[in-house]
């Protein structure tokens, strides 16, 4: 079952929060939704959950508009805490599972399963307000998972988690995806998004500026070279056709080449200055792509 975000638009007074936002998350797909603060990620997720209404556009799941019954199948983690602070961990999870239609016995079994899986066993009878922020986030994650959702929409799920908890959650998300569940999550940890996600969507000022796999999005965006030429004078690469200097750190220069540029011409120019101790291609990362997409007007969609 596919989640479809179709041309969502939303205004708050004079501010345009979303302007024709569209993307899909297919069954079994991990979709990373990234953007700067205020770009529109949370607004999109709230509309998908029915917390907000779009001015125009539609959200569909399994080909049908999202309804109250559909929302009962969604596991949602909001950016802000959505827990009852004076309720015990186990009681909270059982209650939320029952709200999603599980019987009391099934709710208890599911709650205990996720308490154990997310390392909350010693805290199962603690009030939420007595937990650390990291453990509160674990409970929030358990609440999103406890009813065995058919779709996961998670707003900054890794926020506040220590490295071990990040590894556990990463494994959980992969497992859910492997069962055919679409998983959409936002995160500012771009290395994690790049490692986990099948596809990525980048939003800027309420518009999608890039959607695809990291390889697809960086394939035609220019090649990068790292060249170390200890005897070269500053600016030695400026005359190489199609080469743009990104960084110049003493003997090491980082260049971006246009698609038509010849890396051998760069090597020849470097060798003309003396010995070359490093000449290597550097793959663009999601962080590079993100910086370019959010900083460059008219970046490709």
**Measured between alpha carbons, how far is 258 from 283 in angstroms, rounded to an integer?**
14
Task: Tell me the pLDDT tens digit for each residue of 91-119.
Answer: 999 999 999 999 999 999 999 999 999 99
Say if residues 206 and 39 touch (Cβ distance below 8 Å): yes
Kind and range of the H or E element at 91? helix 89-99
**Residues 113-170 pLDDT 10s:** 999 999 999 999 999 999 999 999 999 999 999 999 999 999 999 988 999 999 999 9
Per-residue model confidence (pLDDT) at position 299: 45
Say what the pLDDT of residue 281 is: 85
- What pairs with residue 253 in β-bridges? 227, 248
Give residues with Cβ within 8 angstroms of 179, minimum separation 6: 28
Using an 8 Å Cβ cutoff, are 75 and 144 in contact?
Answer: yes
| Predicted local distance difference test score (pLDDT) of residue 221 | 56
3-class secondary-structure state, position 34: strand
Distance from C-alpha of 256 to C-alpha of 244, rounded to nearest angstrom: 5
H or E element that contains 76: strand 74-77
CA 72 to chain centre: 23
Rounded to whole angstroms, how far apart are CA atoms 147 and 160?
23
* φ and ψ at residue 188, rounded to 5 degrees: -90, -5
CA distance 42 to 211: 17
Where residue 215 falls among pLDDT bands split at 50, 70, 90? confident
Beta-carbon count within 10 A of 42 CB: 21
What is the model's pLDDT at position 2?
95
pLDDT in tens, 287-299: 878 887 776 554 4
User: For 198-202, 261-265, 271-275, 293-297, which range has the lowest pLDDT when averaged over its residues?
Assistant: 293-297
Structure-token pair, residue 130: 């007595």
Provide the percentage of residues in the chain whose pLDDT is more than 90.
76
Let me know: does 10 contact 18? Beta carbons within 8 Å: yes
Average pLDDT value over all residues in the chain: 91
* 256 SS3 class: strand
- Give the residue-averaged pLDDT of 58-70: 92
What pLDDT is recorded for position 46? 95
Rounded to 5°, angle at Cα 254 from 252 and 259: 145
Short-list 277, 274, 226, CA closest to 253? 226
> What is the predicted pLDDT for the residue at 218?
72
Contact 75, 147 (CB under 8 A): yes
> Could you tell me the domains of the chain?
3-214 (3.40.50.300), 222-283 (3.30.70)
Q: What is the pLDDT of residue 220?
A: 55
Given this model, what pLDDT does residue 296 score? 53
């Amino acid at each position: 079952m596919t989640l479809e975000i179709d041309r969502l638009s939303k205004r708050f007074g004079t501010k345009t929060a979303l302007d024709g936002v569209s993307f899909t998350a297919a069954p079994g797909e991990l979709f990373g939704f990234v953007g700067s603060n205020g770009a529109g990620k949370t607004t999109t997720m709230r509309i998908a959950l029915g917390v907000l209404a779009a001015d125009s556009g539609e959200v569909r799941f399994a080909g049908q508009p999202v309804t109250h019954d559909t929302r009962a199948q969604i596991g949602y983690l909001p950016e802000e805490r959505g827990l009852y602070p004076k309720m015990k961990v186990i009681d909270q999870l059982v209650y939320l599972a029952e709200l999603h239609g599980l019987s009391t016995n099934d709710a208890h079994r599911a709650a205990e399963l996720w308490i154990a899986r997310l390392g909350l066993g010693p805290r199962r009878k603690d009030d939420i307000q007595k937990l650390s922020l990291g453990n509160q986030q674990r409970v929030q994650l358990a609440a999103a998972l406890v009813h065995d959702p058919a779709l996961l929409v998670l707003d900054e799920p890794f926020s506040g988690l220590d490295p071990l908890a990040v590894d556990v959650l990463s494994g959980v998300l992969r497992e859910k995806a492997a069962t055919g569940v679409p998983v959409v999550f936002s995160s500012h940890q771009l290395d994690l998004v790049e490692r986990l996600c099948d596809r990525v969507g980048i939003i800027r000022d309420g518009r999608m500026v890039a959607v695809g796999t990291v390889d697809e999005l960086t394939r035609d965006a220019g090649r990068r070279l790292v060249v170390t030429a200890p005897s070269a004078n500053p600016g030695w690469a400026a005359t190489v056709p199609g080469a743009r200097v990104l960084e110049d750190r003493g003997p090491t220069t980082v260049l971006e080449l246009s698609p038509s540029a010849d890396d051998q011409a760069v090597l020849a120019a470097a060798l003309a200055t003396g010995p070359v101790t490093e000449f290597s291609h550097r793959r663009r990362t999601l962080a590079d792509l993100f910086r370019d997409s959010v900083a460059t007007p008219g970046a490709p969609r």
